[in-house]
Amino acid sequence: MNPYLPIKRIVLRYALPLVLLLTCVPEASAARKRPRKQAKNAPEAVAPDTVYIIKYLPIADTTSRPRRAEFGDRGYTEYSPEVRDSLLSGWHRRNIAASYDDFFARYVREDTLAHASSDATPDSVYAQRLQRLVSPVRLPYNPIVRDYIARYTDSRYGTISRILGLSQYYFPLIEEELVKAGLPVELRALPIIESALNPSAVSRMGAAGLWQFMPATGKLYGLEVNSLIDERYDPVLATRAACRYLKDMYALFGDWMLAIASYNCGPGNVNKAIARSGGKTFWEIYDYLPRETRGYVPAFIGASYAYAYHRQHGIEFTPAPLPLAVDTIHVAKLMHLEQVASTLELPIEVLRQLNPQYRLDIIPATDKRYTLVLPQQYACRYIACEEEIHRKDSLYLKEYINPVNVAQKRAVTSTYLTHTVKRGDTLGSIARKYRVSQQTIMRDNRIRNANRLSVGQKLRIRRR
């Protein structure tokens, strides 16, 4: 065995990588020094020995402002109920406003084919705008539709501006129910032409609420109507009933225009118009429909257009008179709205606006639960004060504490309501308010001279 063999192996093991490394260094150094070929008009290359100075901005002092809560923090739960309600209310309001801005920015594109004045807008522009609103509900354009578009976009009346403001409160709940029912969301425009989004609206024929249900039709579709509660005025329950009715009509006719027409005049009149005309579409049976229904479907198209393209006509929202951020409490015990209002220091007018279905301000929750809609700012406070609220029942519900009395009241639908004459009231203004004739009021109250009303006088008004 060669004695130098181990030494050779060691030399080869360590010397060879060292030689390779020394041969690569000059090449790498040369590569760094080799000038790059600059592109034409390119900025001058920076010298390799240029010193870069990185300036760091000073960290701002955050001791003066609260740290933003991170996911998993318990800080929010340590706030008072009032603060939590306020934070949640602000979040709801911001999201509602943002969703509306996003809708019109994304889906209703501004066009430059026309000025704000609808009078100068060519027919082709109206037709193109309606075509953009792609929907299972066809929205055709013709001179009749244009007339209704002009009515809804006339800024002199302010109708659509007020409706746009109310839509921020009512459309989210209406759209939610339409989506749950599998119906086109464009049907949200129906309450515009039915009630102008007024949940307390009452027609001359006795139809009531956002969707203008007649008492019999409302009961047929599951709405409770009696002397204490009229669910035709409940925006959510009435919308659910309207969804069921519209699904039935679409199943009957297979056409949304005919289903919408039947919502106004009933399926019987639509069937007769089809039989007399031999047509199969709304426009083919148009001349055979009742006069009011002939304008109903074009009004629906006009309202849909005005809602989508109000900005092209220089129309903006009128702020809604309702709190946009609300929450729902389920009530399982008999309660007067004054119990809630007085305890939470909340104006009872706000409760009445949000809960128009309770005719006498009483929630008749004796054998089933009912809902109470509150401004978001008061939801947690209600829960914290619930026992105090219920302790006030003897003060506001003396005659109703006995469940038997409540059942009797619910079973009887009163034919009349009472109006107390105030300063400035006239028989004509009272008749217009309740949508009854002056002659009917005079006959029911044995009034001989219509000009002789006294302040404080009680009048029996026949319900419509």
Number of Cα atoms under 13 Å in the Cβ half of residue 456:
0
CA distance 434 to 202: 8
- How wide is the angle at C-alpha 315 spanned by C-alphas 311 and 318, nearest 5°? 120
Q: What is the pLDDT of residues 212-235, one digit of tens each?
A: 999 889 999 999 998 889 999 999
50, two tokens:
């240029």
Q: Residue 8's pLDDT is what?
A: 52
- The span from the CA of 167 to the CA of 82, in Å, is 27
Neighbouring C-alpha atoms within 13 Å toward the C-beta of 165:
14
Q: What is the pLDDT of residue 437?
A: 79
Count how many Cα atoms sit within 13 Å of the Cα of residue 34 in the half-sphere of its side chain. 8
CA 430, CA 345: separation in Å to the nearest integer? 32
399 neighbors 405 (Cβ within 8 angstroms): yes
Please, are residues 241 and 251 in contact by the beta-carbon 8 Å criterion?
no
Element holding 427 (H helix, E strand): helix 427-434
CB 255 within 8 A of CB 281: yes
- Residue 428: what pLDDT? 84
Which of 264, 309, 272, 319 has its CA nearest to residue 97? Answer: 319
Reduce the DSSP state of residue 358 to 3 states and report it. strand
CB 206 within 8 A of CB 462: no
Return d(Cα 433, Cα 453) in angstroms, integer: 16
d(CA 452, CA 331): 45
d(CA 179, CA 175): 6
- Cα angle 399-401-404, degrees, rounded to a multiple of 5: 85
227 with 359: CB under 8 angstroms?
yes
DSSP 8-state symbol, 188: G
Task: Give the other-Cβ count within 10 Å of 193's Cβ.
Answer: 23
Instruction: Calculate the CA dihedral of residues 336, 342, 346, 352 and round it to 10 degrees.
Output: 20
Number of residues written out for the chain:
464
C-alpha 230/C-alpha 414 separation (Å) is 12
Residues labelled catalytic: 194
∠ CA 300-302-307, rounded to 5°:
95
Instruction: Measure Cα distances from 408 to 233, 394, 395, 402 in Å.
Output: 21, 19, 21, 10
DSSP 220-280: HTT--BSSSBBGGG-HHHHHHHHHHHHHHHHHHHS-HHHHHHHHHH-HHHHHHHHHHH---
Q: Which strand (E) or helix (H) includes residue 310?
A: none
pLDDT at position 431 is 83
Numbers of helices and strands, H then E, in the chain: 20, 6
Q: Tens of pLDDT along the chain (464 residues)?
A: 555 555 555 555 555 555 454 555 444 444 444 544 444 444 444 344 444 343 433 444 434 444 444 444 444 455 566 665 565 556 555 554 454 444 444 433 333 333 334 457 889 999 999 999 988 999 999 999 999 999 888 877 677 888 999 999 999 999 999 999 999 999 999 999 999 898 988 887 788 999 999 988 999 999 999 888 999 999 999 999 999 999 999 999 999 999 999 999 999 999 999 999 999 999 999 999 999 899 999 999 999 999 999 988 888 888 888 888 899 999 999 999 999 999 999 999 999 999 999 998 999 998 889 999 999 999 989 999 999 999 998 888 876 666 666 666 555 555 567 888 888 888 888 887 877 778 788 888 888 888 888 888 888 887 65
Cα 241 to Cα 222: distance, rounded to the nearest angstrom = 7
Token digits of residue 308 = 């989508």
Q: Which two tokens stand for residue 409?
A: 């009241």
Residue 33 CB coordination number (10 Å):
8
